[in-house]
Amino acid sequence: MGAMSPDPLLRALEGIVGAVHVLVDPALRAGFESDWTGRYHGRALAVVRPSSTAEVAAVVRACADAQVPVIPQGGNTGLVGGGVPRPGSTGVVLSTRRLDSVGAVDTSSGEVVAGAGAPLGAVQDAARAAGWDVGVDLASRDSATLGGMVATNAGGEHVVRYGRMRNHVIGVEAVLADGSTVGRVPALRKDATGIEWAGVLAGSEGTLAVITQVHLALVARLDAHAVALVAFDDFASVARIAGELRATLPSLLALEAFFAGGLRRVRDHTGLPSPFADDWPAYLLVELATSAEDAARETERLASVLDRHSGVRATAVAEDEAGAARLWAYRDRHTEAINAAGVPHKLDVTLPHDRLVEFTERVPGTVAAIEPDAELVLFGHVGDGNIHVNVLGLDPDDATVDHAVLQLVASMHGSISAEHGIGIAKRRELALTRTDADIAAMRAIKHALDPEGVLNPGVLLPDPR
């Protein structure tokens, strides 16, 4: 799109949201222009902070009229560069953070309506206070927003029990590129009146609409939690036992894996003590959640599965909530510990369960063949076949290693993105695991809803050949 002179647009935006919510000062824009990892950044014409659906619609319309792209941004915790401006292009960042209302929880139906800019943590607090819970949890819970989570179809640590974000969305309201508002909130649990906007927008990464409200289905709050950290000789044992735990434990809430190298990074960064007297190659963090009546039976089942496995080297069981938080910190603080060591290349991938171990054995060779000194940190949601491949020590702008790892994934029938999305990081590789027909259909949907390419250009879809 060819940009017009920015000043009339800025004046129009100020007229819509008020001058104080149009950030043009570089110091104020900076936090919105760079992503969480520091790998992706660009310059925005302005950051605009609307506070209602009507304001979002007017902002999008003004930008479309001026032929200036809109980059929707929620909590800016995305890890594929899709929520920040692209280098060398102009655009307006539309921050949803002021759309942060959390409605009253409907305690009889277990539902809540919230603004797209509401942080997950605030919605979790409201749900729990009302005797319910949110079925999705991410370590970025204090910043990640509901709108961003729908737009990326976020996964997280409870997918093994409850599935991804899309599974929990009853309805959405959203603003299209022409400024029209679509969807219905509050929505109905069952509404078979044609294509559902929640389905269309889940995973659309801000390219089809700006989500303004989300109607969420909650899950029952379970008060009896048990957390254990288990050490193993190798990842093959972790993968084997993970499958068995899924088959045996109805109360399974989380099944997370990490390795010695990641634990070392977390300990160096946080100063946490070692969880065990000795270091071990691979670790599995298990959380169970159930009702008080079923708790003893479920923990006994867990103990008996662990007892049967010859690969188990050590087990730490949390005795209370503080102990559980201590064990979770070894897993949850991986992302910040890796970031603290440099700008990582983050490749979030899924493998078929029966190829997970082979992948963890092959990926070090793939990386070392290109960059022998790079540091590889693997961890992830082993119950979902999802490994987070983090590579440190690379030039942030050189994607050679990224490409090789994603090719390895594709050759093993995996997916190049499990839960973070495509963003700008992987759009050139989209065709590795989506067919030409898939991409053509996605392009047709994009063109139908946003023919001028106003919303988040350069994200998700590769450039046409």
The closest alpha carbon to 380, from 324, 322, 338, 425, belongs to 338
- Binding of ligand FAD by 72 (CB under 6 A): yes
- What is the DSSP code (8-state) at residue 382? G
Query: Would you give the binding string for ligand FAD spanning residues 181-210, x where CB under 6 A is met?
Result: ------------------------xx---x
When the beta carbons of 126 and 285 are compared against ligand MLT, the nearer one is: 285
- Binding of ligand FAD by 385 (CB under 6 A): no
- Binding of ligand FAD by 139 (CB under 6 A): yes
Name the region of 110 (left: φ>0; alpha: ψ -120 to 50; beta: rest): left
In the list ligand MLT, ligand FAD, none, the entry touching 235 (Cβ below 5 to 8 angstroms by class) is none
Query: Would you give the binding string for ligand FAD spanning residues 156-185, x where CB under 6 A is met?
Result: xx----------------------------
When the beta carbons of 95 and 335 are compared against ligand MLT, the nearer one is: 335
Written as one letter, the residue type at 159 is V
In the list ligand MLT, ligand FAD, none, the entry touching 391 (Cβ below 5 to 8 angstroms by class) is none
Considering only residues 322 through 341, tell me which ones interact with ligand FAD, judged by CB under 6 A: 335
- Binding of ligand FAD by 343 (CB under 6 A): no
DSSP 335-360: HHHHHHTS--EEEEEE--GGGHHHHH
- H or E stretch at 453: none
The footprint of ligand MLT (CB under 6 A) covers 139, 335, 346, 348, 388
> How far is Cα 350 from Cα 383, in angstroms, rounded to an integer?
11
Strands 92-95 and 46-48: parallel
> How far is Cα 343 from Cα 323, in angstroms, rounded to an integer?
31
Task: Please state the closest distance from residue 378 (CB atom) to ligand MLT, in A.
Answer: 10
In the list ligand FAD, ligand MLT, none, the entry touching 339 (Cβ below 5 to 8 angstroms by class) is none
Task: Please state the closest distance from residue 54 (CB atom) to ligand FAD, in A.
Answer: 15
- Binding of ligand FAD by 73 (CB under 6 A): yes
When the beta carbons of 161 and 388 are compared against ligand MLT, the nearer one is: 388
> How far is Cα 155 from Cα 137, in angstroms, rounded to an integer?
8
When the beta carbons of 54 and 139 are compared against ligand MLT, the nearer one is: 139
- Binding of ligand FAD by 135 (CB under 6 A): no
Length of the chain: 465
When the beta carbons of 148 and 383 are compared against ligand FAD, the nearer one is: 148
Tokens of 46: 């302005």
Written as one letter, the residue type at 134 is V
Considering only residues 264 through 323, tell me which ones interact with ligand FAD, judged by CB under 6 A: none
Give the other-Cβ count within 10 Å of 355's Cβ.
16
Tokens of 245: 């735990």
- Binding of ligand FAD by 77 (CB under 6 A): yes
When the beta carbons of 158 and 388 are compared against ligand MLT, the nearer one is: 388
Written as one letter, the residue type at 335 is T
- H or E stretch at 316: strand 312-317
Q: Choose the stretch contacting ligand FAD; rule: CB under 6 A; options: 58-66, 72-80, 251-259, 357-365.
A: 72-80
Task: Please state the closest distance from residue 400 (CB atom) to ligand MLT, in A.
Answer: 21
> SS3 sequence, 286-299?
EEEEECHHHHHHHH
The closest alpha carbon to 213, from 229, 197, 195, belongs to 197
- Binding of ligand FAD by 419 (CB under 6 A): yes
- Binding of ligand FAD by 148 (CB under 6 A): yes
Using CA atoms, how far residue 100 sits from 81, 202, 255, 354, 370, in Å, is 23, 19, 31, 42, 45
Task: Please report where in the chains the tokens 């994603």 appear, as a residue.
Answer: 406
Task: Please state the closest distance from residue 346 (CB atom) to ligand MLT, in A.
Answer: 6
Using CA atoms, how far residue 65 sits from 2, 83, 88, 108, in Å, is 12, 22, 21, 45
Residues that bind ligand FAD (CB under 6 A): 36, 71-79, 82-83, 96, 116, 138-140, 143-145, 147-149, 151-152, 154-157, 205-206, 210-211, 335, 419-420, 423, 456, 459
